[in-house]
């Protein structure tokens, strides 16, 4: 097994940032690329190599993580001007960590493989704290050769790697289902907390009870705390779930599946985005329900 010790991370958002720091922590030389100058400065201070284009980032990398927002951005950083695919050496392994429609992932993977690259379809889960600690879950699919070359890098960023198939595609399919559940759970958390506020239940007390009761979920434990604290700092923004649940409902429509809960949750996220909350934490969908209900949540104007 080849021990990869040179990596690049393209996209230093909450998950990419955590992955890059996890790689540095175990001794990788890591090149980071992002459009935000302040993030690049922080990355340099953390010990990373700063690159302003994807092409520069991959020049000496054996493993390249793609952590951009959507498939359009992935295509741009890979195949656009100063894209990574043209600058990488043949045999470089690309880990596609962006949440994309499975069809988009397959298309991008085929283009990379045609250029002589190895590819792991590698969407991740676990939130920004798991990313920082190197304990993400990877929903992976790809060839044996791709996994072998990426093994050391995957070990650095993840606690569990599921190998779901020998071709790109299944990883993105499983992540899509994960996002269906995650989005619906966030919407349900927002609804529950808003109802509690409207009926006069102390939100901290409710949270303490429910997080150890049958109605809890990982999303309730995580996003419920954000609502109780009135903290809508974006760990994962509302607009992310506009995209992700859009993928769910679109792919479901193509396959003939019926997803009424996902469609309802998507409508709520869209409403929050249109209300100017798109860049806030995705728990901010609770504000939409609270406003409609005449309830006041922590952090909302009018709180007493």
Domain segments of the chain as ranges: 6-168, 173-293
**How far apart, in whole angstroms, are the C-alpha atoms of residue 19 and residue 211?**
28
**CA-CA-CA-CA torsion sign (196, 220, 304, 290):** negative
pLDDT of residue 264: 98
CB 50 within 8 A of CB 44: yes
The model's pTM:
0.92
Fold of 6-168: Rossmann fold (3.40.50)
Cα atoms in the 13 Å half-sphere on the side-chain side of 260: 0
Torsion of CA 282, 287, 290, 292, to 10 degrees: -110
Residue the block writes with tokens 């994807």: 54
For residue 161, the cross-strand partners are 138
- Low-confidence stretches of the chain (pLDDT < 50) are 1, 303-304
Query: Of 49, 149, 175, 287, which is the active-site residue?
Result: 175
Give the pLDDT of residue 60: 87
Question: Are 151 and 4 spatial neighbours (Cβ–Cβ below 8 Å)?
Answer: yes
pLDDT at 1: 43
- Catalytic residue flag (residue 175): yes
CATH of domain 173-293: 1.10.1040.10
pLDDT digits (tens, 9 = 90+) for 253-268: 999 999 999 999 999 9
| Distance from C-alpha of 20 to C-alpha of 2, rounded to nearest angstrom | 20
CB 198 within 8 A of CB 293: yes
Q: Is 294 exposed, middle or buried (0-12, 13-18, 19+ CB in 10 A)?
A: exposed
Provide the CA 278 distance to its chain's centre, in angstroms: 16
Give the side-chain half-sphere CA count within 13 A for 283: 25
């Amino acid at each position: 097994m080849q021990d990869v010790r040179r990596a690049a991370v393209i996209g230093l958002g909450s998950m990419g940032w955590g992955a890059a720091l996890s790689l540095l922590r175990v001794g990788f030389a890591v090149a980071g690329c992002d459009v935000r100058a302040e993030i690049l400065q922080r990355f340099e201070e953390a010990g990373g190599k700063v690159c302003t284009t994807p092409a520069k980032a991959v020049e000496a990398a054996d493993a390249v993580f793609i952590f951009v927002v959507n498939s359009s951005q992935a295509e741009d950083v890979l195949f656009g001007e100063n894209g990574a695919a043209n600058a990488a050496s043949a045999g470089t392994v690309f880990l596609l960590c962006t949440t994309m429609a499975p069809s988009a992932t397959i298309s991008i993977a085929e283009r990379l493989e045609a250029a002589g690259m190895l590819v792991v379809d590698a969407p991740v889960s676990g939130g920004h704290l798991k990313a920082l600690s190197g304990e993400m879950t990877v929903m992976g699919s790809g060839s044996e050769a791709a996994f072998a070359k990426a093994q050391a890098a995957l070990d650095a960023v993840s606690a569990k790697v599921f190998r779901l198939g020998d071709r790109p595609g299944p990883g993105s399919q499983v992540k899509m289902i994960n996002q269906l559940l995650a989005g619906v759970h966030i919407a349900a958390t927002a609804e529950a907390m808003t109802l509690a506020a409207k009926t006069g239940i102390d939100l901290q007390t409710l949270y303490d009870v429910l997080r150890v009761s049958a109605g809890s979920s990982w999303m309730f434990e995580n996003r419920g705390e954000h609502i109780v604290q009135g903290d809508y700092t974006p760990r994962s923004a509302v607009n992310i779930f506009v995209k992700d649940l859009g993928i769910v409902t679109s792919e479901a429509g193509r396959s003939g599946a019926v997803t009424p809960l996902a469609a309802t949750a998507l409508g709520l996220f869209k409403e929050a985005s249109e209300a100017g909350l798109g860049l806030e934490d995705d728990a901010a969908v609770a504000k939409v329900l609270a406003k409609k209900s005449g309830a006041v949540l922590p952090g909302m104007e009018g709180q007493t």
